[in-house]
Amino acid sequence: MTVKPLDGIRVADFSWFGAGPIAGQALATYGAEVVRVESSKRLDSLRVGQPFKLDDEGKPISSYNVSGYFNNFNAGKLSFTLDMNTPKGKELAHRLVVESDVFLTNFTPRVVDRWELGYEQLKQINPRIIAAYAPMQGMEGPHRDFLGFGAVLTPVTGISHLSGFPHRPPIGVGTNYPDYVVNPGHTVTAILAALRYRNRTGKGQMVELPQVESVVNILGTSLLNYLANGVNEGRIGNRHPAAAPHGAFRCADDPTSLGSEDRWVAIACRTDVQWQALCDAFGHSAMATDTKYATLADRKANEDQLEAMVGEWVRELRAEDVAVLLQSRGVPAGVVQNSQDILDKDEHMKARGYYQYLDHSETGRSAYDGPGARLSLTPAGHRAPAPLLGEHTFEVCERVLGLDPDEIGELVAAGILA
Is position 393 within any domain?
yes
- In terms of domains, do 307 and 335 share one? yes
Q: What is the set of active-site residues?
A: 179
* pLDDT score, position 94: 98
Of how many residues is the chain composed?
418
Mean pLDDT in residue range 261-284: 97
d(CA 344, CA 89): 45
d(CA 162, CA 164): 7
Of 347, 374, 390, the residue at which a domain comes to its end is 347
Share the mean pLDDT of the chain.
Answer: 95
Is position 292 within any domain?
yes
Residues 6+ apart with CB under 8 A from 265: 248, 249, 251, 314, 319, 322, 323, 333, 334, 335, 336
Q: What does the pLDDT look like over 151-178, one tens digit per residue?
A: 899 999 999 999 999 999 998 888 888 9
- In terms of domains, do 388 and 340 share one? no
- In terms of domains, do 335 and 370 share one? no
Q: For residue 98, give the 3-state DSSP assignment.
A: helix
- In terms of domains, do 23 and 115 share one? yes
Angle, helices 183-201 vs 19-29, to 10°: value is 50
Q: What is the DSSP string of 118-150?
A: -HHHHHHH-TT-EEEE--SS-SSSTTTT----H
- In terms of domains, do 171 and 283 share one? no
Task: Give yes or no for residue 263 having a pLDDT over 80.
Answer: yes
- For the CA atoms of 154, 157, 159, 161, what is the dihedral angle to 10 degrees? 110
Q: What is the pTM of this model?
A: 0.94
Task: Give yes or no for residue 148 having a pLDDT over 90.
Answer: no
Task: Give yes or no for residue 48 having a pLDDT over 70.
Answer: yes
DSSP H stretches of helix in 30-168? 68-72, 87-98, 109-114, 119-125, 150-156, 159-162
Is position 327 within any domain?
yes
- In terms of domains, do 276 and 396 share one? no
How many CB atoms within 10 Å of residue 295? Answer: 13
- Strand 10-13 and strand 364-368: the pairing is unpaired
- In terms of domains, do 27 and 130 share one? yes
Is position 231 within any domain?
no
Q: What does the pLDDT look like over 333-346, one tens digit per residue?
A: 999 999 999 999 99
Say which CATH number the domain at 202 has: 3.40.50.10540
Of 347, 379, 399, the residue at which a domain comes to its end is 347
Overall number of domains in the chain: 2
Of 302, 327, 347, the residue at which a domain comes to its end is 347
- Side-chain-side CA neighbours of residue 341 (13 Å): 14
d(CA 16, CA 48): 13
Report the DSSP beta bridge partners of residue 102. 11, 130
Domain encompassing residue 278: 246-347
Cβ atoms of 15 and 23 within 8 Å: the answer is: yes
Q: How far apart are the first and last CA of the chain?
A: 33
What distances in angstroms separate CA 121 from CA 20, 64, 124, 342, 349, one per listed residue?
21, 33, 5, 46, 46
Task: Give yes or no for residue 1 having a pLDDT over 70.
Answer: no
- In terms of domains, do 407 and 308 share one? no
Is position 88 within any domain?
yes
Say which CATH number the domain at 339 has: 3.30.1540.10
Q: For residue 81, give the 3-state DSSP assignment.
A: strand
Q: What does the pLDDT look like over 68-96, one tens digit per residue?
A: 999 999 999 999 999 999 999 999 999 99
- In terms of domains, do 34 and 129 share one? yes
Q: What does the pLDDT look like over 217-229, one tens digit per residue?
A: 889 899 999 999 9
Is position 58 within any domain?
yes
Is position 318 within any domain?
yes
d(CA 12, CA 14): 6
Is position 69 within any domain?
yes
- In terms of domains, do 29 and 56 share one? yes
Task: Give yes or no for residue 321 having a pLDDT over 90.
Answer: yes
